Structure 1
Amino acid sequence: MDLSIIDYVFLLSLLSIWSTLGLNIILAINGYIFYLKNLKFKDEKLDEYPFVSILVPAHNEGMVIGKTVESLLLLDYPIDKRELIVINDNSSDDSKDILQSIKNKYRNYNFTVINTDNITGGKGKSNALNIGYQIAKGDFIAIYDADNTPERTALRYLIQTIVRDDNLGAVIGKFRTRNKQRNILTKFINIETLSFQWIAQAGRKNLLGLCTIPGTNFVLRKTTIETLGGWDTKAIAEDTEISLRIYKMGQSITYVPQSVTWEQEPETINIWIKQRTRWVKGNIYVVVKYMKDIFKGKKNKAIFDILYFFSVYFLFLSSVVISDIIFILGLFNIVEVNIPFNFLIVWILSYILFILQVSITLSMEKGEGGLENIFLVALMYFTYSQMWLFVAIKGMIGYFKDVIYKREVKWYKTERF
């Protein structure tokens, strides 16, 4: 049977989709291996702890900043070996008053509040972090988002890991969904975040020695951030961008899932779309910025991550769109697909593969591998995952429109509840 151009395009798109699904299965299995290795984790305390500067960038976070700051002040870490710096970044709400009230309550703690205005601040998270780290006194910098409630041991576990390995430029912990029971959206997000961390963090760490800094609950060496010259203020996915630069300078990043922070996730579709669109635009910026390294033949671990993000945001996305369009046109006999196999079987297999890989990751979290979550995973394929397709297209179009019209990238701060 002679195949047409449409047939070849359809086959290539299916190959791309199945390659991505296959890669995620491999990463999920490696994530499980990483999980088994970490069952032997021991809380090996240090004889002496280094001084740590905890930075919290905050813009109009009055609704959540109080709980975050108090949880950070009460961490299980020597009080004389840490300082807390909150960068209240050009806020127009009551954040300043809330922070001052807490400062008065905890007078014996090393707690600094930097209040910026529309001249010195208001330029996004990267700029706020650059302001904070330049006055930090610690040998290590810890970063927490303004909506976080870290477990008391979170910081100590990260520090105990990084000080024992001079090759580590940064060490990351795990983030969990604090408001997962709010509605079905937050339940989906809870499953997504757990799946991402066990696949993309633990899986890549076990398989390739790679993981990516998240936006919160991580520690890096001050000498590392000074060598890098701070955070890239043009990057709205500053965590991904700085991860690649750390690898390029020859240092490593590791993952400590025992270090846990709980964060608030979007509770409405509109806010979720805005947040995820920012993520997509930010990651595309990183891919475009570092793609030249591949063609220059530079040998560093960052190349694997560049290819990974490229495959997710370009190859996989375009393949799904192309295959869906051809499939729909074929149903209406507008185009004819002459490939001799049953597409229904292919779709059912991909659906089973999706449920399998996510279920593997949920089995690694206590209380998350039950029948309710398995049912939600099956439902996610038709709902939440399709929303991600919309967001990815929206973010990609937004990124290239910003480039074409030379618009300054705006950092969208997730609204709180």
Structure 2
Amino acid sequence: MKGLKFTDYIFLFSLISIWAILLINIILAIGGYIYYLKSLSFKDEKLNEYPFVSILVPAHNEGKVIGKTVESLLSLDYPRDKMELIVINDNSSDNSKDILQSIKDRYGRYNFTIINTDNITGGKGKSNALNIGYQKAKGDFIAIYDADNTPEKTALRYLVQTIVRDESLGAVIGKFRTRNKHKNILTKFINIETLSFQWIAQAGRKQLLGLCTIPGTNFILRRTTIEKLGGWDTKAIAEDTEISFRIYKMGQRITYVPQSVTWEQEPETINVWLKQRTRWVKGNIYVLVKYIKNLFKGKQNIVLFDILYFFSVYFLFLTSVVLSDIIFVLGIFKIIEINVPFNFFVIWILSYVLFILQVSITLSMEKGEGGLENIFLAAIMYFSYSQMWLVVAIKGMIGYFSDAIHKREAKWYKTERF
């Protein structure tokens, strides 16, 4: 290693970081595949008696999608007398109120409540809307769906059947799929990303570490759990990750049921995608900062891997990918010279192949998703979609620390619907 220059050390650091994350993800992908194989033996074992469940749907200016969502929820395969639907129409300025009232008039026999808030009681983000909703809820269990969701008819029942049978569970999460995946190349990328995340980060962590985190939709909580927690943290714009950490801190568990499926609309333009993902990054930084202070106290040690993993994926991996790509391209054109004592081109190619391999493993677990088109798209994602995450990470970090310095409350950005 004698005689190495600064660029050589940066390149080595980037390669080591990339390989570390890719190897961890490969291990998680294998764990996810084992979980997938186990899930094939899933049986729809119905309960003799079903508990009363309150379904909460926070909605702000969701006129384009809320009608389809509400009608799909009212059509769930769940005993009607054991289910209530509460839509929190949170300070909407569009026609959401009229659409919701029209559906309520048509479904008069159903237990369907609309809570309309104004700019005083509402308009403060998803966490606040959920707190308003659960305080009105009557169920022993609270299920959450986003306003753009079309859950499959069995989605809720599978969640309920799982949580009822295991007292150690504070929450049970299902799977979400991309409803508009064929819209354009961006939604195709998002479809691959979300499937990979769920089989690697959710199923893989669950299989190997007994750990998974609540997504923003298609999950169920015990009412006693949310009451002990005191509701959702209104300062958290990544409320799903934040409440997951608190559930683990209580000593309760979360499990993943991929048979429970909901279909959701994903961003169809780069601008909307950037805003949504930037909010995610800001929200996760808030959670990291909040929990890093007491990392080794109490029962939340299990989330140590989560903190390190998401930090690595959001920042270390993305930064390393871009740095290695820049140095690699500059080296190809002889602008700079790499003096590492091995064939860095081969190492770089192998890391690229490893990325495609981990994505391919996850796609193979979903019917119709493991074809050549998606594998080709995964190969393109490495150079395009993955690189875009660096912009998101930078914007999110700047936004978070700017808010902290100026003591501004984090502003909730509602994803634009199409």
- TM-score (normalised: structure 2): 0.96
Give the whole-Å Cα distance in 2 for the aligned partners of 1:337 and 1:297.
47
Q: What amino acid is aligned across from residue 121 of structure 2 in structure 1?
A: T
User: Does residue 40 of the first structure (1) align with residue 52 of the second (2)?
Assistant: no
Q: Shift in Å at residue 191 of structure 1?
A: 0.9
Q: Deviations over 1:5-40 (max 9, x none)?
A: 554443233212210011000000110000000100
Could you tell me whether the CA contact under 8 Å between 1:266 and 1:416 is conserved in 2? yes
| Partner residue, 1:28 | 29
Greater mean deviation of Cα atoms: 310-319 or 42-51: 310-319
- The change in CA–CA distance for 1:410 and 1:321 in structure 2 (over 3 A counts) is same
Q: 1:321 to 1:375 in 2, by over 3 A?
A: closer
Correspondence for 2:401 = 400
Q: For the residues of structure 2 that align with 1:325 and 1:347, how far apart are their CA atoms?
A: 12
Q: Distance in 1 between matches of 2:188 and 2:170?
A: 33
Pair 322,348 (structure 1): closer, same or farther in 2 beyond 3 Å:
closer
Amino acid at match of 1:216: T
**What is the distance in 1 between the residues matched to 2:376 and 2:14?**
28
- Secondary structure at the residue paired with 1:368? coil
1:88·1:113 contact (CA, 8 Å) conserved in 2?
yes
Quote the residue 1:264 is aligned against: 265
Aligned to 2:376: 375
Contact 2:154–2:260 (CA<8 Å) still a contact in 1? yes
> What is the CA–CA distance in structure 1 between the aligned matches of 2:196 and 2:218, rounded to whole Å?
18
Q: Summarize the alignment of residues 163-312 of structure 1 with structure 2, pairs less than 5 Å apart.
A: 163-294=164-295, 300-312=301-313
What are the Cα deviations for residues 25-66 of structure 1, in whole angstroms up to 9, with x where unaligned? 000011000000010000000000000000000000011000
Is the 8 Å Cα contact of residues 62 and 94 (structure 1) preserved in structure 2? Answer: yes
Structure 1 position 3, deviation (Å): 3.5
Counterparts of 1:328 and 1:150 in 2: how far apart (Å)? 45
Shift of 1:4: 4.5
Report the equivalent of 1:132: 133
State the partner residue of 2:344: 343
TM-superposed deviation, 1:320: 3.5
Q: Does 1:143 align with 2:141?
A: no
1:150–1:260 CA contact under 8 A, matched in 2 = yes
1:112 corresponds in structure 2 to 113
Is 1:212–1:239's contact at 8 Å kept on the other side of the alignment? Answer: yes
Distance apart, 1:329 and its partner CA? 6.5
User: What's the offset of the Cα at 1:339?
Assistant: 1.5
| Residue 314 (str. 1) matches residue 315 (str. 2) | yes
Aligned equivalents of 1:296 and 1:256: distance in 2? 29
Compute the displacement of 1:295 (Å).
Answer: 5.6
1:384, distance to aligned residue in structure 2 (A): 1.2
Query: Are the aligned partners of 1:169 and 1:252 in contact in 2 as well (CA < 8 Å)?
Result: yes
Question: Partner letter of residue 270 of structure 1?
Answer: N
Contact 1:293–1:303 under 8 Å retained in 2: no
Q: By how many angstroms is 1:246 displaced? A: 0.5
Q: Mark the CA change 1:293 to 1:320 in structure 2 (over 3 Å): closer, same or farther.
A: farther
Residue 115 of structure 2 is aligned to residue 153 of structure 1: no
Q: Hey, what's the Cα distance between the residues in 2 that align with 1:172 and 1:189?
A: 20
CA distance in 2, matches of 1:53, 1:60: 22
Q: What is the DSSP-based 3-state SS (H/G/I as helix, E as strand, rest coil) of the residue aligned with 1:170?
A: strand
Q: String of CA shifts for 1:244-274, please: whole Å, max 9, x gaps.
A: 1101110000000000000011111111111
Matched to 1:85, the amino acid is I
Aligned counterparts of 1:333 and 1:12: Cα–Cα separation in 2: 21
| Structure 2: runs of 5 or more not aligned | none
In structure 1, C-alpha distance between the alignment counterparts of 2:330 and 2:189, rounded to whole Å: 31
Q: Which amino acid aligns with 1:108?
A: R
Query: What is the match of residue 93 of structure 1?
Result: 94
Which digits, 9 at most, give the CA deviation of each residue in 1:105-156, with x for residues without a partner? 1111111000000000000000000000011100000000000000000000
1:407, CA displacement in angstroms?
Answer: 1.9
Structure 1: runs of 5+ lacking an equivalent: none
Compute the displacement of 1:167 (Å): 0.3
Shift of 1:346: 1.6
Deviations 1:301-347 (A, max 9, x none): 12221121122233324433544565567678786643112221122
Query: What is the CA deviation profile of residues 322-373 of structure 1, one whole-angstrom value per residue up to 9, with x for unaligned ones?
Result: 4456556767878664311222112211110111000100100011111111
Question: Whole-Å Cα distance in 1 between the matches of residues 289 and 323 of structure 2?
Answer: 22
Query: Residues of 2 paired with 1:411 and 1:122: CA distance?
Result: 9
Q: What SS does the aligned partner of 1:254 have?
A: strand
Give distance in 1, aligned partners of 2:299 and 2:31. Answer: 27
> Contact 1:284 / 1:313 at 8 angstroms: preserved in 2?
no
Structure 2: distance between partners of 1:348 and 1:22: 15
- In 2 relative to 1, CA 383–322 (structure 1 residues): closer, same or farther, beyond 3 Å? closer
Is the 8 Å Cα contact of residues 248 and 300 (structure 2) preserved in structure 1? Answer: no
Structure 1 residues 359 and 325 mapped into 2: Cα distance closer, same or farther (>3 Å)? closer
Per the TM alignment, residue 405 of structure 1 is displaced from its structure 2 partner at its CA by 2.1
What is the rounded CA distance, in whole Å, between the counterparts of 1:336 and 1:268 in structure 2?
A: 39
What do you get for the CA RMSD once the two structures are aligned?
A: 1.7
Decide whether the 8 Å contact of 2:251 with 2:299 is kept in 1: no
CA distance in 2, matches of 1:265, 1:171: 23
Q: Secondary structure at the match of 1:21?
A: helix
Percent identity between the aligned chains?
83
Asked if the contact 2:57/2:145 (under 8 Å) is kept, the reply is: yes
In the alignment, is the contact (CA less than 8 A) between 1:76 and 1:156 conserved in 2? Answer: yes
Say if 1:287 and 1:309, in contact at 8 Å, map to a contact too. Answer: no
User: What SS class does the counterpart of residue 13 from structure 1 fall into?
Assistant: helix
* C-alpha distance in structure 1 between counterparts of 2:413 and 2:34, whole Å: 36
Q: Secondary structure of the equivalent of 2:205?
A: helix
